Amino acid sequence: MKDKLRVGILGATGTVGQRFIELLDNHPQFAVAAVAASDRSQGKTYAEACAWRLAGEMPEAVRSLIVEAPEPTLDCDVVFSSLPGDMARETESRFRAAGYKVISNSSAFRMDADVPLLIPEVNAEHLALIEGQTARHDGEGFIVTNPNCSTIMLALALAPLDKTFGIEAVAVTTMQAVSGAGYPGVASLDIMDNVVPFIAGEEEKMESETLKILGRLNDSRGGIEAADFAISAQCHRVAVLDGHLAAVRVKLKQRAALEDVRHAFDSFTALLPELPRELKLHSAPEKIIIVRDEPDRPQPRLDRDAGRGMSITIGRVQPDAVLDYRFVCLSHNTIRGAAGAAILNAELLAATGRLS
C-alpha cells in the first residue's frame, strides 16, 4: 500500500461497490483502505458482510477489512461513493465538509452547478468547477460525479458528432440490464419473459445530464452553459444481466456523409488533445469507441467487456429517414457506466494534481 492513495468505498457491498473492489485490486495508484455499508453489514468483516456476486474470488486484500458506517471518520485519503441516491446527498455532503475528496456514482449532486459531471474523454475542462466549489464550501473537500450508466455511453457517442458536425436533435431508446437496478433489483417474476417500459427517473436523467456534459464551461464559479439541442429518451428494463444498449437517432447541424459519421466515431480520442490517453490513465481504454460493421452487433453478451468494459461499442450506423442518422451503442453498465467511470475520474484528478 506504500505510496498509493488510500481509498474508502461507501456502499462497498453493493453491485457497484463490488465492481470497485474488483477493479481496484492491484490498482497502481489506489489501495482500498476502508469499506462502509448499511448497519446490516457494519462491524462484520467484508468477507462476512458481502455476498460476492462477481466472477472469480473476492480479492484477498479486502476480506478482513471491517465494514464501517458511512461517516467522515473513515481512515482514507479519497472516497468513492456508491450509496443509494436517497441517502447520498446528506452523507456525501458530510464527507465534503470534513475535507474529503468524494468521487461519486450517485445521482445526488450530478446536476449541482458547481459539481463536475465528468467523463474524462469528453469534458475534462469541467474540472475547473472544483475551484468554485471548494471556495463556496470553504475547505479542501469536493465532490466530482460520474453520469448515470446510460448517459455515459450516450454522451461518449454524441461527443464526436457534436464536435465534428454539431447536433440539432437526439432521440434515444434504451434497453437496460437488470444489474443497473442494484441487488436484488427487479424481481425475476417481473423481468423474465418481459420488458418493463419504466425505470424511475432514468429518462429525465439521460436528458438533463447529457446536456450538462456536452455543455460549455463559462467560468469556474458554477458556469456550465448546457448544450442546446433537443433530446428525448425512452428507457426500458430488459432481461439481460450486464450491458445497456441504446438505439439512437440524431439530427446534425451540418450535412455529413455516412463514412464521415462512421469515421467520427472510429477516430474519437479525447476532446482535449492532451487528455487522457497521453496522460496514460490506467483505466482508459485503448479505443474509446469500437465501431462494428456486422449487421447484428453490438450485443450485450458479445460486446459488454470490450476494452475491459471501458470501451463503448457502436454498430448499425445508417442514414435515417426521420432524423439524419441512426446507430446502436452499448456499454458495460457497472464498469464504464459506474465503478470504472469513477475510477477513471479519480485517475484524471490524480494526474492533474487534485488528489494530493
Which residues of the shown chain bind ligand NAP in the complex (CB under 6 A)? Answer: 11-17, 37-38, 40-41, 70, 82-85, 87-88, 105-107, 149, 179-180, 182-183, 333-334, 337-338
Query: In whole angstroms, how close is the CB of 280 to ligand NAP at the nearest point?
Result: 26
- Chain centroid offset of residue 125 CA: 17
Q: Which amino acid is at 236?
A: H
According to DSSP, residue 285 is labeled -
- C-beta of residue 338 within 8 angstroms of C-beta of residue 148: no
Nearest CA-CA partner of 92 in 67, 75, 82, 345: 82
- C-beta of residue 298 within 8 angstroms of C-beta of residue 315: yes
- C-beta of residue 146 within 8 angstroms of C-beta of residue 119: yes
Cβ closest to ligand NAP, residue 134 vs residue 208: 208
According to DSSP, residue 58 is labeled P
Place of cell 464559479: 221
Cβ closest to ligand NAP, residue 37 vs residue 143: 37
Cβ closest to ligand NAP, residue 204 vs residue 219: 204
Q: Which residue number has the CB closest to ligand NAP?
A: 14
- In degrees and rounded to multiples of 5, residue 79 shows phi and psi of -120, 130
3-class secondary-structure state, position 338: helix
Cβ closest to ligand NAP, residue 149 vs residue 256: 149
Query: In whole angstroms, how close is the CB of 153 to ligand NAP at the nearest point?
Result: 11
Distance between CA atoms of residues 114 and 143, nearest Å: 9
Distance between CA atoms of residues 36 and 8, nearest Å: 8
Cβ closest to ligand NAP, residue 174 vs residue 333: 333
Q: Which amino acid is at 50?
A: C
Which residues are annotated as catalytic? Answer: 149, 244
Query: In whole angstroms, how close is the CB of 148 to ligand NAP at the nearest point?
Result: 6
Cβ closest to ligand NAP, residue 105 vs residue 134: 105
Nearest CA-CA partner of 150 in 227, 237, 25: 237
Cβ closest to ligand NAP, residue 129 vs residue 338: 338
Query: In whole angstroms, how close is the CB of 195 to ligand NAP at the nearest point?
Result: 18
- C-beta of residue 101 within 8 angstroms of C-beta of residue 77: yes
Alpha helix ranges (H) inside the chain: 15-24, 46-49, 60-63, 85-97, 120-123, 129-137, 149-164, 188-191, 202-213, 258-266, 300-303, 340-351
Query: In whole angstroms, how close is the CB of 284 to ligand NAP at the nearest point?
Result: 19
Distance between CA atoms of residues 104 and 108, nearest Å: 9
Query: In whole angstroms, how close is the CB of 222 to ligand NAP at the nearest point?
Result: 24
Query: In whole angstroms, how close is the CB of 225 to ligand NAP at the nearest point?
Result: 26
